[in-house]
Chains A and B, each alone.
Chain A
Amino acid sequence: MNGLITPFTSNPFMMQALVAGILVSIACAVAGTFVIMRGMAFIGDALAHGVLPGIALAFLLGFPGIIGAAIGAVVMIGGVTVITQRSRLSSDTAIGLLFIGMLALGVVIVSRSNSFSGDLTSILFGEIMGIGISAIWIQLAATIVIGITAFICARPFLLLSFDPEQAQVAGFSQKIYHNIMLFMIATTIIVSFQTVGTLLVFGLLIAPAGAGALLARRIRGMMAWAALFGIVSVYTGLLLSYYFNLATGASIILVTTIIFFIVFTIQNAHSRRNNAQGEAAHE
């Protein structure tokens, strides 16, 4: 039993990693819920990868990675917006290409840097074990902002997810609230990449909220499940990484994905049984 707690109590870096992971899990639970509700998984994915060149540039020029990530996100959102407005056909294709292009640009920039492989690894896979106190403060602030945004905009976000036209007619501008939602998702990604990396942060955004969607009857329940699954994943991933010397970010994402598929399987078996019973009852 002790082995499940002492790694955190006796190693400050483990405790800091856990705190950072919990904050990120909560932010991802809130933002991920709306990513799924609104069917924005693809844009979320694009954003997660689009921040890479910004971070790479930051590493190269020596300014904070988080600012580089923000710049990358702004460029990505701008690109996605222009594409979705201009082309009625296959905006998916264009967005897909945009984010692959950004990813390639990021790698190209990093390859110019001297400490090439170290930087790239930490950007792609995160460095949660080396997270500093100041990064934790930033994550706390971001998580609070994300929570408040979701709370204030709960009605328009809900209407947007249900039917964007309904939101517009109800007096909540589609455009404004869509952009606020994008901003919230981008913020989540920007502050989360340090923990699990740009390559995998999308997993923490989608998998816990996806499992929550399968279990919950209401949005609030979905968020609560998502936060719980995220925190369990972070905790388990940290321990796995600690004892078996595994890549931490990847361990966390692996756990969260496994949780999703366990829930998915149980849920599927359950609803199939229910359906069979329902049909039998109807006969």
Chain B
Amino acid sequence: MNNAAADMTTSQAGSIKPIFARAKNVTVGYPGEIIVEGINFELPQGQAMALIGTNGSGKTTLLKTSVGLIPPLGGDLTVFNTKPGNSARRIAYLGQFHNAGFILPLRALDVVRMGRFPLHGLVGKMNAADNEMVKSAMHTMGIEKQADTPLRFLSGGQQQRVYLAQVLAHHADLLVLDEPTSGLDAAGRELYLHAMNDEMCRGASIIVATHDIQEEAALCQQIMLLAHKVVAFGPPQQVLNSETLLETFGIVIGKDQKRPAVLECAHGHDTEPAIQAKVKGRKFWMR
């Protein structure tokens, strides 16, 4: 059934893009406990999908299923045309919770370097290119000055930036992020949004659980509203309306929402100057 044409989609620009993740009538949950059923989506290369819903709505469960940490209870879920959990080299995952009171002797740099482990296996040597990517990821998240600081001496928000830098250092094809902005300050959030945009421009896809229906969700091509079921699925303009939000959250939130801001890709392939510029000044363009 895996014929190549079935795994391609036509983007707005008309070019053919491979599908990185696909769910057909998938059920997620735990043994003896269905959390969400009837999940359908197709995530093409270079696009992002946001999962939005209250606490306990099933976002984490779906993310863990898509990286292979828990098996799907039913349906057909494929990531890079294979079962979830078979493509470690291509997937970066940021879990929702981290070891609180982390007292271990690990420097921020050591944590970010772990992002490169999947590409080198047990004993494959890390080279200068790896170090460069680690450095640039830390720069992107604005924590290059903390490289030598033990993780335990960093604040919660700084630690979150370190974890995000770890994910970025991987240069993965699919990023699976569970509430990545939790604990980030405004500056951190902005660096993260830019990084997310850059990852997509690079050709990576993203699945992200978020509560940010304004900026973060607006960067995504697809939105899935969850409330122990799929409330709505589609592009942001179509999905984020008062009715669906009422059904998802039980109250109407973000009704008089600003027009979502969008980021654009930096021109060409030399992204370095663009990164420099972005760190200094905000570069949002209104649609």
Contact = CB atoms under 8 A, between A and B. Distances in A.
Chain B associates with chain A: yes
B88 A165 contact: no
Contact of A222 (B105, B120, B121): B105
A213 interface: yes
A168 B69 contact: yes
A213 B110 contact: no
A153 B122 contact: yes
B89 A213 contact: no
A156 interface: yes
B33 to A, nearest CB: 13
A75 interface: no
Given A152-B123, A217-B107, A168 B68 contact: yes
B95 A166 contact: yes
Contacts of A217: 105, 107, 148, 150
B99 A170 contact: no
A165 B104 contact: no
Contact of B107 (A158, A168, A218): A218
A39 to B, nearest CB: 9
Interface string B91-118: 1110100110001111100110010011
A199 B137 CA distance: 48
For the complex, would chain A's binding face be called helix, strand, loop or mixed by DSSP majority? helix
Given A168-B69, A170-B88, A213 B107 contact: no
A92 interface: no
A165 B95 contact: yes
B67 interface: yes
B105 A162 contact: no
Given A163-B95, A163-B98, A217-B148, A152 B105 contact: no
Contacts of A107: none
B114 A159 contact: yes
A152 B104 CA distance: 20
B105 A213 contact: yes
Contact of A219 (B69, B98, B106): B106
Nearest to A278: B153
Nearest to A171: B88
Given A37-B104, A213-B103, A217-B148, A166 B114 contact: yes
Contacts of B150: 217
A87 to B, nearest CB: 15
A253 to B, nearest CB: 23
A275 to B, nearest CB: 10
Contacts of A222: 105
Interface string A153-183: 1011011011101101111100000000000
A171 B67 CA distance: 11
A171 B121 contact: yes
A184 B246 CA distance: 54
Contacts of B85: 168-169
Contacts of A212: 105
Contact of B122 (A152, A162, A165, A213): A152
A132 interface: no
A217 B89 CA distance: 28
A130 interface: no
Contacts of A213: 103-105
Interface in B109-145: 110-111, 114, 117-118, 120-123
Contacts of A221: 105
B148 A155 contact: no
A169 B93 contact: yes
Contact of B69 (A153, A161, A165): A165
Contacts of B117: 155, 159, 170, 172
Contact of A218 (B64, B99, B105, B114): B105
A216 interface: yes
Contacts of A218: 105-107, 110
A152 B121 CA distance: 10
Nearest to B109: A218
Nearest to A212: B105
17 contacts: A153-B122, A155-B117, A155-B120, A156-B122, A161-B104, A162-B104, A162-B106, A165-B93, A165-B95, A170-B114, A171-B89, A172-B117, A213-B105, A218-B107, A218-B110, A219-B105, A222-B105
Interface of B: 64, 67-69, 85, 88-89, 91-93, 95, 98-99, 103-107, 110-111, 114, 117-118, 120-123, 148, 150
Q: Which 8 A-B pairs have the closest CB atoms?
A: A171-B88, A169-B93, A216-B105, A170-B118, A155-B117, A169-B67, A222-B105, A171-B118
